[in-house]
Structure 1
Amino acid sequence: MSDMKTLLLELHCEEIPARFLKPLTQDFSTAFTKWAEGEKLGYEGITPYYSPRKLSWNISDLPVAQADQTELQVGPPQRMCVDEGGKPTVQGQKFAEKWGVGFETVRFEQPAGKKEPCAVVELTRKGRPTLDLLVEALPRLIAGLHVPKAMRWGNSSFEFVRPVRNVLCLFGKDVVPIEIDGVKATASTWGHRLYHMEHPKPIKVERPKEYVEALKAAGVVVSFSERRRILEGQLNELAAQTGGQVVKDEELLDTLAEIVECPRALRGEFPPEFMELPKEVLVTSLKEHQKSFCIEKTDGTDLLPFFLTVANRDDDPAGFIKAGNEWVLKARLYDARFFFAEDRRTPLQDRLEKLKQLTFHRELGSYLEKTERIQAIATGLAHALRLDFAQADHAARLSKADLMTLMVGEFPELQGVMGGEYLKHEGEPEAVWKAVKEHYHPVSAEDAIPSTPMGGLLAVADKLDTVAGCFAIGQIPSGSKDPLALRRAGIGITRILWEQGWTLSVEALVDLGLKAVANRASKPLPETREALLGFFKDRVAYQLEVAGYAGAVRRSALAIGWSDLVDLKARCEALSAFAEDERFASLAQSAKRIGNILKDEAPADAFEASVLQVTEEKALAEHLGRIEAASDQATLLAALAELAQPLAAFFDAVMVKCEDAALRGARLSLLHRLRKAFMRVADFSLWQ
């Protein structure tokens, strides 16, 4: 459309740290959207781009001018603006003069919120050209971006993440004449540094739609998602050439796509002698030190002696980049091999006393104290779950010893993993070393839980000590604040209980955790217990949502009990199977009615069926017998579904609170027993 144009804004800077790129583009997009709404400027959408030296935004279909704005100005009451003869008073004329109109344009009506008719003037404000609005707004929006580590250069007062070297700003074909930190906007930009060694002049951009291709021709892929897609394809291709596959790491792939302008994956090699190191050590060392991927066999077991990295250019003449990476990587792997060999000279058991020197939390003591609490919780869980008590105690005792090793000192993310590897080399039982190796899992919502029951037990014990300990000293997550990641730990515990199918109530688990941290607690036990149960109930509700149960199923099932996750899961599965049955909608209405009738009553469980008189209530009593005899959730729900029609008929034919005391008591007891049957599976009054 001729009255619509695209805005293109690019800030070309010195190298920007990767962690700032996405937040800055999102921050500007949010700020621009808010500004445009305030100015009544609609647009099609914002497409942000970023690369190591560029932040840019393409805002499509902005109108060339604001629409005219109509404003209603309300003045004094009508009785003050005109006299009895209908002629304008002095006050009425002054109101018209104030808004620059003749009194004949003033009309009288009763605006919302007013008690009587008032003088009203309708004014039309002509919309301003969008170009003028952009000139005023863009410098202010850029200056208002949130930069965690903002800096200034020279004598400038402008603060930003890095110095701005070029500003490209086009509205259609027109340059928007703005200035950012002394740099005036133009219709040109700069490509890759190597490109400009042969082409010293800036790149001219005639119109916004040419921007992406113009930069691509100059060696810069400005779209992050496109760079990521290119890199992923190149990495997979290079790995396949070795007969293996890339060890997946989405975070590392994002990082590599952020730190280059021209994506080019390279494959290097390292000496096979380093393959004696555990897989996790090689993967972590390559990632942390070289931002490189490992290649594994296609069955996902062992690694191959290759690595994949990325260069910020489309070629590697003479192989210097590959050789340089191989040289640095070899030195890093020598360090890792030294750490691995040195650590194995001292058994983990002999490192336990050193845990006294390592503080877990100022109010919760050292890691040795935490280890002792984990032991107490783990052995309690082993008894409850009928797992090997001695193995649980031994694994818990050694679970944190690797914190004092050289390898974990170099790579903290390998804690637990190295403990398991060292215990394996020491000849410990598989159940023990695997439990130690996996006890930090799951570390995220996508991460798998420990693969063994003993690993799950140790993971629950470790996370429960952290959660219960923090609650006991009053460090409870609030709002978006959760510095110790207690919510993540709570979700991890819930997932393990859910996926392992352990018949262990969350209430019992909470009591076990609070008992272990009792000597460090500074808050009253009842208050802490109540807060912890509320915390875990929220995690269980989240687990039901993740499992995909419908809202009606979740609400009605949670309302009658959530602590036994095995029972809760069975009820949710059964309810989900019947969720589409329309009879449950009728049952929900009847359940609410029963609740209202019994609200102020205290009926007995027993009742004399012979007292019942009406056919409908006798039929309902017969249904009650079948419901109470149901032995599983599915049978019970099927019987409840059959109850919908008889229950509706009962309410149509029967006055429950009749004058006859015996009959009234029998009818109330019948409904009481029915409600108890409902409550074996769900609170149907919440089924909506």
Structure 2
Amino acid sequence: MREGVSGACGGRRRTCRNHWEGGCEVSGTKTFLLELHCEEIPARFLEPLADELADKVEDALESWIPTGDSANYGIKIQKFYSPRKLAWRAQGLPIAQPDQTDTQVGPPQRMCVGEDGKPTLQGLKFAEKWGVDFSAVRFEQPAGKKEPCAVVTLMKRGRPTVDLLAEALPGLIAGLHVPKAMRWGSSEFEFVRPIRNILCLFGDQVVPITVDGVRATNTTWGHRLYHREHPAPVAIATPEAYESALEAAGVVVSVEARRTRIAQQLEALAAEVEGRVVADAELLDTLAEIVEFPKIVRGEFPADFLELPKEVLVTSLREHQKSFCIEGPDGALLPFFLTAANRTDDPAGFVKAGNEWVLKARLYDAHFFFAEDRKHSIETRVSSLEQLVFQREIGSYLEKSLRISDLARKLSLKVGLDPDKAASAGRLCKFDLRSLMVNEFPELQGIMGGEYLRLAGAPTEVWKAVKEHYRPIGPEDSIPDSDLGCLISLADKSDTVIGCLKNGMYPTGSKDPLALRRFTLGVIRIIWEKNWNIDFKSLISIAYSLVPMKGNVFAIIPPIPQEEGAPLSKPRWFDGPIEAIEAFFKDRVAYQLEVAGYAGSVRRSALAAGWEDLADLKARCEALSAFAEDPRFASLAQSAKRIGNILKDEIASGDFDRGLLTQAEEKVLAERLGKLETTADRKALLEALADLAEPLEAFFAAVMVKCEDPALRAARLSLLHRLRQAFLRVADFSLWQ
């Protein structure tokens, strides 16, 4: 029953497919099925609810079956959900709990039996306590006892699983976490939607449960259209017949099966018009969750609408109609769309005609917005940004766009881009926020700005940069394709993060309403993937100087956990906002190293030696990773710690007279020092450092650093100081372990 414990078939919990393919039949087991048939449940609640109850049921089963016996059953829970159903099925449940024996040890034999061989009062009391006759008491010497004692073995009969389920399920269902729980009528029961029917079977036996006044039966309900001709409920003979019985009644209960069918139908219908579906995994998941029986319908729209930008059409169809677009081999859209009907067919064509009618109206709206936006000049839109507030403490979007322009110009010199184009793209990147199209479709911000600039004849680099500067939107999104797009994105996100932090709007715990962590990771990813030589302290300093500050808002800033929801440690004190902002960025850089897959020892030691130059940090991590398994570095780490402890309270200069060093062990270090300081290649430097492990051990074994002679003491401290500086060119090896 526990994660990773094999069942009788060798399958593992939640991973063994054979359980659902007729294998792994264990005698004395049955299949359990629970279905809650409700009013339509919002799609975003379906999977979390299904997952939660599956976990609760599984935990309950583990508590009923002893760990030693659970491996004999190979129990696995399968989840189903559709707009009106939440269901769970578990195969291989034992008919009853295993019988258990319990041995109880009582007083010594001499206290339980008198000289006449008859039981004493104490012996009778012991038997009475455990509910047995004194004749069931035996006398033996248990382990750890010095004499024979009274012993009784009790047999506890295992309870029938159906009784255990009947007791537990109502509480498990009532305990589900529903983000927006409601009550209906006079009921006090809170749930996501009213429960209309409960199907609950253990084999062919109904489990007698009642939830919110609804009693469990062996029947359920299919598609509404099916019951127009078949008014009776659908009888489910056994849990194994559940899916087939419901499909005959017009409901495909498996979301995976619905998703697969939708994908297959989409591709087939698109191929009929010599096109392919514009991929949208999120929309595919949505359609699979909002229909009970997927039937994809292809519709058409007037070809005149193809004059609109592709992104406008794709977004309009996705957001308003939950429809897919079809594109030709050249990537241009075709005048067709694909949408899902929640029924088995569309004999009269009403679904197709209705979607076409609504879609045409939506596209007319989009066409109107597009035409109206083009009547206004770009500069008019830019000027109107003054009326749109970015943040009350930081100013309007016009002020923000001017800051982005200034920051982009200054950063362009560091990455070899045209400063004039960088400044122009930065100033223009937000003007589409005042357009009708973005007001209707906020997800098109940036995209529409790029399109309008392209139509207005702006330089290609500029309109492309504006079009893609919001990327990356999340951890799965890619950075902008163009260098200038990356630069504008970096400037925009840096301005937001540093401006908000400068004015005290820092995230706490798991709360990050301004998405500052996400924006910071976007900045880091751009510099990381472009391998740009942009120093974070310089970036923070420039952006900080451009943002207004409303009063002195920083006193204490709690550390920001690297993972959302992580507990806060003790607050950290900072000298001012700059230091706090640098700490915020450093935390996110550490997270980036973890995401990149570097070992903990590599991350800690490399980060401690400097994090501001991301390109340099990345190169050092790569070099260190090549030596991560070298055992010499464990010894080097111990020596590095020792050097740090020795130098902690000392003032050591970099200069020393090598002639003062007389012992062989310190002369070896002095000779190696020159090579370390002149080696530029990191790999060669790390090899030289690894070779230093043994001489350092010998040095500390033979040499007293803090000796009586002041001149010799100073020379030895300076030698260690220089060695430490050589180490820190790559990493702080005291943190290697």
TM-score (norm 2): 0.82
Partner of 2:258: 227
Q: Deviations over 1:568-600 (max 9, x none)?
A: 111112112333333333322332333334334
Q: Which amino acid aligns with 2:325?
A: C
In the TM superposition, what whole-angstrom CA distance separates every residue of 1:43-93 from its partner, at most 9, and x where no partner exists? 723221101111001133334444567999999xx9xx99xxxxxx99999
Quick one: distance in 2 between partners of 1:101 and 1:517?
A: 84
Q: Equivalent residue of 1:586, what SS?
A: helix
Match of 2:45 among 9, 20, 26: 20
* Farther off after superposition, 492-501 or 96-105: 96-105
Range with bigger deviation, 59-68 or 621-630:
59-68
Answer with 231-240 or 40-49: which moved more. 40-49
Q: Distance in 2 between matches of 1:381 and 1:417?
A: 23
The partner residue of 2:587 within 519, 538, 545 is: 538
Report the Cα distance in structure 2 between the residues aligned to 1:399 and 1:74, rounded to whole angstroms.
Answer: 82
> Is residue 501 from structure 1 mapped to residue 531 from structure 2 by the alignment?
yes
Which of the residues 460, 469, 477 maps onto 1:439?
469
Distance 1:72 1:250, change over 3 A: farther
* 1:621 partnered with 2:670: yes
Query: 1:215, 1:483 → 2: CA distance?
Result: 43
More helix by share: 1
**1:256 Cα offset (Å):** 0.6
Q: Counterpart of 2:297?
A: 266
1:138 aligns with 2:145: no
Q: What CA distance in whole angstroms lies between the structure 1 residues aligned with 2:379 and 2:154?
A: 84
Residue pair 2:393, 2:549 contacting (<8 A) in 1 also: no
Residue 175 (structure 1) aligned with residue 206 (structure 2)? yes
Contact 1:96 1:106 in 2 (8 A): no
Please point out which of 192, 196, 221 is paired with 1:190.
221
Name 2:308's counterpart in structure 1.
Answer: 277
- Name the Cα RMSD after superposition: 3.5
Relative to 1, partners in 2 of residues 1:233 and 1:589: Cα closer, same or farther, differing over 3 Å?
Answer: farther
Secondary structure of 1:603's match?
coil
The correspondence of residues 54-203 of structure 1 with structure 2, limited to 5 A, is 54-66=85-97, 127-203=158-234
Distance 1:618 1:63, change over 3 A: same
Find the counterpart in structure 2 of residue 487 from structure 1. 517
Q: Distance in 2 between matches of 1:92 and 1:475?
A: 74
**Distance across 2 between alignment mates of 1:73 and 1:413:** 70
- Please show how residues 373-412 of structure 1 align to structure 2 within 5 Å: 373-385=403-415, 387-412=417-442
C-alpha separation in 1, matches of 2:190 and 2:513: 29
Q: Structure 2: 5+ residue runs without aligned partners?
A: 1-25, 113-119, 145-150, 556-574
Q: Give the paired residue count.
A: 672
Say whether the 8 Å CA contact 2:450–2:466 is kept in structure 1: yes
Superposed displacement of residue 240, structure 1: 3.5
2:679 paired residue among 630, 635, 646: 630
SS at match of 2:183: coil
Query: What amino acid is the match of 2:305?
Result: F
Match of 1:10 in 2: 35
1:666 equivalent in structure 2? 715
1-structure distance, mates of 2:44, 2:140? 59
Kindly report which structure 2 residues correspond to 1:408-427, keeping only aligned pairs within 5 A, or say none. Answer: 408-427=438-457
TM-fit CA distance, 1:523: 0.8
Q: Does residue 520 of structure 2 align to residue 471 of structure 1?
A: no
1: distance between equivalents of 2:432 and 2:36? Answer: 47
Shift of the 612–127 alpha-carbon distance from structure 1 to 2, 3 Å rule, reads same
Aligned to 2:21: none
Query: In 1, Cα distance between the equivalents of 2:214 and 2:125?
Result: 49
Q: Does 1:645 align with 2:680?
A: no
Structure 2 residue 236 is matched with structure 1 residue 236: no
Q: What is the CA distance between 1:663 and its match in structure 2?
A: 4.0
Which of the residues 611, 618, 625 maps onto 1:576? 625
Contact 1:441 1:450 in 2 (8 A): yes
Residues 407, 418 of structure 1: 8 Å contact kept: yes
Residues 154-184 of structure 1: per-residue CA shift (max 9 Å, x gap) = 3333232222222110122221011222221
Separation in 2, partners of 1:598, 1:98? 71
Does the 8 Å CA contact 1:472/1:521 hold for their aligned counterparts? Answer: no
* Residue identity (%): 63
Q: Show CA shifts across 1:532-577 (max 9, x none).
A: 2222112111212222222222111111111110111111121123
Gap change, CA 1:402 and 1:664, over 3 Å in 2: same
For the residue of structure 1 that corresponds to 2:78, the secondary structure is: strand
Structure 2 letter corresponding to 1:20: F
> 1:469–1:65: structure 2 CA closer, same or farther, 3 Å change rule?
farther
1:305-338: per-residue Cα shift (whole Å, max 9, x none)?
A: 2222222233332443233322322222121111
- Tell me if 1:211 matches 2:242: yes
Moved more, 560-569 or 625-634: 625-634
In the alignment, structure 1 segments of 5+ residues that lack a partner are: 83-88, 112-119
* Equivalent residue, structure 2, for 1:31: 56
User: Structure 1 439/121 Cα, relative in aligned 2: closer, same or farther at 3 Å?
Assistant: farther
Q: Amino acid of the residue matched to residue 615 of structure 1?
A: A
Q: Which of 340, 348, 355 pairs up with 2:385?
A: 355
